Structure 1
Amino acid sequence: MKATRNFRRPRVLIVGCGDVGMRCVPLLRPRAHVFALTSHAARSAELRAAGVSPLVGDLDVRRSLKRLAGLAPTVLHLAPPQKTGDDDRRTRALLATLGTRGVGALSGARGTYAAIAPVGRLRRTRASWIQARAQAEPANIVPDGLRRAAASRARLRFVYASTTGVYGDCGGEWIDETRVTQPANARAKRRVSAERQLRRATVRGTVAASIARIPGIYADNRLPLARLEKGTPALADADDVYTNHIHADDLAAILVRLATHGRPARVVHASDDSSLKMAEYFDRVADAFGLARAPRITRAQAEQQIEPTLLSFMRESRRLVNRRLKEELGVRLRYPRVEDFLRDAASAKQGVKRR
């Protein structure tokens, strides 16, 4: 009976089921049979224990992805690109592999499920016009008419976890999702590549893809405690950059919400309401956990003392407007600001001490 119920339930595939993906699972399981692609067979037992059906495959080995074809009409793509090159080959492989059978998908109406009609072939002249229009648009905009057309034809509902690093340095300005992307490193260029692939697939009617641009993720297990204990320095205020944040539980809720209510080819900032410089964030965490604050150094000193990967995040400053998140998706954050989480964390810590 259990196998029969699972067969009949709508299916959702999570690609890249790490910490955030596992937080999505309990939000999805009451309504769907959840599958997860993992490149590590050793994780299968962990996934099964969480109620997930594991599929072993590697986005870098396309032949290992064959079982994904036609498996699920709703896909959460949370896997990062490969570590080299400007093109996201993993997203390209995933889009090439995913099946063509409409088997029912998460619907935006009342949070229920509905079948997706098969895609009709566009006439060649119309397809050429749509593709030309899409390529002519700025990287983060697809016309509303094309969105609606794509939504009516798409076989697959697709949610992609991108990054706010696609904007590059914005000099601390407040920006919304219409800001032109200007990736400053190969890591961000690969994310832009993935977004463009998904937009083009949406315009062609292959998928209906919604994109979440994600800032720094934090949670109990994702705080800079080791960095603070080590005494790694932060930038002096005059040289510091604005950063943006989202709690991992809130991010999981946003991604699941996008699966039912996200607009095709639409970008949403998955960011909370915080407006903190990087050193301010470190100070708030240090104070909450009774640690020494990070020492301050100038940017010139940081160039000499801080390793390149960490330093790259200290070169980009921006503040994110999250109006779409609230007004279009109707998301209410559990932790609107970092301080809200840290206050709860500090209270929990005090409660443990009293016991």
Structure 2
Amino acid sequence: MKNVNVNKFARPRLLVVGCGDVGMRLLPLVRHAFRVIAITSQPERCAQLRAAGAVPLVANLDHPATLRRLKGLARHVVHLAPPQPAGHTDERTRHLTAILPERGRLVYISTTGVYGDCQGAWVDESRPVAPRNARAIRRVDAEQVLRKWARRSGSVLSILRAPGIYAEDRLPLERLKAGTPALRGEDDVYTNHIHADDLARAIARALFKGLPGRVVNASDDSDMKMAEYFDAVADAFDLPRPPRLPRDELRQVVTPALLSFMSESRRLRNNRLKHELGLTLLYKKVVDCLQQRKPGVR
């Protein structure tokens, strides 16, 4: 028993910043190799994080003073926290870099929204970023801030750009129940997805195998338009398929935020995910997950 305790504390520390759903899925994959410290801004989540095998610490990226005790705490970091909801810079990531270590390793979860509208083209990681909305602009800023930190500190940075994250409990059921329209076929856009479990596995791989400064599209093999996605979910849960509208009419009935997601079209190549990180997807396509759902789930 004594040796077990020694080994436990001899493991390198891993700091998980923004330990939400994907972070919780990550913990079982890394706690054997790291002593995991999970940052939360919600004290009431500490018991949940502790039960999942992490050491919880309460801190808030919006309040730099709460981060000071984290300085140099861990040489391995997973950054899952989104930027603040407004502005064109990611101040949260700026605050985080002030406490990051020298010669560390960090995995950052960005978004494929940084590519902007590609008009349905196939996109790999060599495509220049062209963000069209404030959310994506903040993510590009975060990537740039972290690249500067990595060069300055001699650290290894891996950037995973994730599309729409889904899981059995992360599907647009309420949207379908509300009858929110989708675009008609000739106006529709290609959309991309990754199951939350596969994203967690990609993060774990990047911690060990990520190349310095490398960007990886963390996307599955789906090749479908957005309305097709909604139809597939509706069919799996015996819900009505959404009505179709032309773009001009849809603009009048959906929120600007939702419309922005329906205004960008791209298909993602994931060769680096498969060949460099060596990830075999559990869910190659969204339909693979939908076909496995338990009967009677609503």
TM-score by length of 2: 0.96
Are 2:243 and 1:295 equivalent residues in the alignment? yes
- The alpha carbon displacement at 1:289 in A equals 1.1
Q: Give the Å deviation of 1:349.
A: 1.3
Secondary structure of the structure 2 residue equivalent to 1:71 = coil
* 1:220 pairs with 2:178: no
One-letter amino acid of the structure 2 residue matched with residue 170 of structure 1: C
Larger radius of gyration: 1
Q: Please give the per-residue CA displacement for 1:188-209, whole angstroms capped at 9, x wherever unaligned.
A: 1110001111112222244211
* Contact 1:198–1:265, Cα closer than 8 Å, also in 2: no
Q: Which runs of 5+ in 1 are unaligned?
A: 101-154
Alignment of 1:27-42 (within 5 A): 27-42=29-44
Structure-2 residue corresponding to 1:349: 295
Q: How does 1:131-280 map to 2 (within 5 A)?
A: 155-280=103-228
What residue identity is the alignment partner of 2:197? D
1:3 CA drift (Å): 5.5
Corresponding residue for residue 26 of structure 1: 28
Paired residue type of 1:72: A
Runs of 4 or more consecutive aligned structure 1 residues displaced over 6 Å after TM superposition: none
Residue in structure 2 matching 1:6, options 8, 13, 29: 8
Contact 1:74 1:156 in 2 (8 A): yes
Q: Following the alignment from structure 1 to structure 2, what is the Cα–Cα distance between the partners of residues 172 and 67?
A: 46
What is the identity, as a one-letter code, of the residue corresponding to 2:22? V
2:101–2:153 Cα contact (<8 Å) kept: no
Q: Is the 8 A contact 1:168 1:183 kept in 2?
A: yes
- CA distance in 1 between partners of 2:210 and 2:56 (Å): 26
**SS of match in other structure, 2:291:** helix
Native 8 Å contact 1:269 1:320 kept in 2: yes
CA distance in 2, matches of 1:73, 1:158: 8
Distance 1:3 1:48 in 2: 17
Matched letter for residue 295 of structure 2 = K
Residue of structure 1 equivalent to 2:79 = 77
Tell me which amino acid in the other structure corresponds to 1:260. F
What is the distance in 1 between the residues matched to 2:165 and 2:224?
Answer: 14
The one-character-per-residue Cα deviations of 1:214-247 (angstroms, maximum 9, x if unpaired) are: 0001101100111111111100001110000000
Question: Once the 2 structures are TM-superposed, how far is the Cα of residue 274 of structure 1 from its aligned partner?
Answer: 0.3
Task: Number of aligned residue pairs: give it.
Answer: 296
Q: Which runs of 5+ in 2 are unaligned?
A: none
Deviations 1:52-104 (A, max 9, x none): 1001001011110012112111100000011121111111111111234xxxx
Cα distance in 2 for partners of 1:4, 1:307 equals 54
Cα deviation, residue 4, structure 1: 4.2
